[in-house]
Every structure is written in structure tokens, then in C-alpha cells.
Structure 1
């Protein structure tokens, strides 16, 4: 079960990345265009995929042999114990706030701006987490 969830988590990251980048691209190119139902759907699917990724990640966190709090002095274990989960929760929280703000905004320009700002901050944190993992983690190729 662990291996299957790990593979699902690895595959779903590409779905998340594509949907979040598509949301950001739509928000950047929108200008003064109206906020369409298609914009809302892409933004919502990005949000849902992020939350699904979080749930799968939390299940993996509690099952993982890489999470061992007795070895916090080792960079690999510290990464999995604290850094990865903290950065991912923060990024998903930012994406959730962005979607919520765009939903509450009245003007289309404000909706697009909320998506652009918060989804961009969220994806930057995800990318930072990925690149810090590559530099310090021998299990990066999993």
C-alpha cells in the first residue's frame, strides 16, 4: 500500500504543477477580461488537486520509514520530518487563501490578481522544497 501511495503521490505532483501553472498563466494573461466559469473551474481543479496531494502526503507521512524523529540531526531525516511537510502545508494554505479571496472578490481584476499572487507564492514554495530536497537528499530519485 505504501509503494502504491508513493507512486500516486509522485504522479499527482505533475497534475498539481500543471493545473497551478495553468491557473497562474490564465490570471496573468487575463488583464481586464471577465472572470469566466472556465477560469473558476481551472482554479478549483488546481485547489482540489493540491488538497488531494496533501491528504495522500499526510497518509504517507505517518507510514514512511523516512520519518524518524530520533534522527533529526541527519539532514535527510530532518527534511522529511519537518521541512517537506511544513513547506507543502504552507504552500497549499496560500493556494487555498488565494482561491478564497478570488471567490469573495467582486471585480474580475481582483479575482485574477488573488489567483496570480497566492498561487504564485504557493508554487514558488513547492519549487523551493523540491530543489532543497535535490541538494540534500540521497532519496531524491524515488
Structure 2
């Protein structure tokens, strides 16, 4: 079960990152071109929103069942080891903050009345979230 959830977490990560990148580009183009924000635009942003939230949910499940997650904090040595600190503290905390920012961007876009403002809320908050996510991916273990 652990291995399956680990593979699911890695697989959804590719989809979520790709969706975030595409939505950011799409919203940036929409904002710069001055076109109207439509229901289609909202649904495209919603896809990245949902994928990032699913990724967070699977990641939290993995965090609590993995020997590399929450259990590292119990030993007390996680903070002195950079790899253990990334896995046990930095990766989950920063990614929760990133998903909160993505959520704020999507929620604000629904309340803003101008199309440019809606696009801007999405591309700015999604981009900040994406940068945070990319900064805390454990690249050495993810690419192996």
C-alpha cells in the first residue's frame, strides 16, 4: 500500500505541475490580450486547483504512513539532517502554504468583477504557489 501511494503521489505531481504551468501561461495570455474571462477559463483554472489539492491530500496520507514522514520528527534528529528536515518539515509545510496560495488565487478570481483582475489573480497566486512547490521538491529522490 505504501509503495502504491508513493507512486500515486509522484504521478499526480507531474500532472499537477503541468496543469499549473499551463494555467499560469493561459491566464497570463488572457490578461495581456485583454480578452473576456469566461466559464471555460474558470474551468481550466479549476483543473489545476483540483489536481494540486488531490496531490496535497495524497501527500498528507503518505506523510503519516511513510517511515520518512512524520515518524522522522519523533526521533528528534530530523532538524539536524538537511535531507530529513526537507522530508519531514520543509516539503509538507511549504507545499501546504503553496496550496493555500493557489486556493486564495482561485477564490479571489471568483469574486473579482474585471476579467483582467480574474486572470491576474490566477496567474500571480498560482505562479507563487508553483515556485514554492518547485523549491521544496526532493529532487534527488524524485528523479531516481
Pair in the same fold by TM > 0.5: yes
Query: Equivalent residue for 2:104?
Result: 97
Query: Equivalent residue for 1:62?
Result: 64
Structure 1 unaligned segments of length 5 or more: list them.
none
Runs of 4+ with >6 A deviation: none
Deviation of residue 141 (structure 1)?
Answer: 3.8
Are residues 1:10 and 2:17 paired?
Answer: no
Query: Equivalent residue for 2:51?
Result: 49
Query: Equivalent residue for 1:27?
Result: 27
Deviation of residue 140 (structure 1)?
Answer: 4.1
Query: Is the 2:10–2:142 contact (alpha carbons within 8 Å) kept by the matching residues of 1?
Result: no
Work out the number of aligned pairs and report it: 137
Structure 2 unaligned segments of length 5 or more: list them.
none
CA shift digits 1:101-129 (9 cap, x unpaired): 10110110100000011000000111111
- Measure the CA separation in 2 of the matches of 1:62 and 1:141: 22
Partner residue of 1:79 out of 70, 86, 95:
86
- Measure the CA separation in 1 of the matches of 2:18 and 2:40: 16
TM-score (norm 2): 0.90
Query: Is the 1:24–1:119 contact (alpha carbons within 8 Å) kept by the matching residues of 2?
Result: yes
- Measure the CA separation in 1 of the matches of 2:120 and 2:8: 32
Computed over aligned residues only, the root mean square deviation of the Cα atoms, in angstroms, reads 1.2
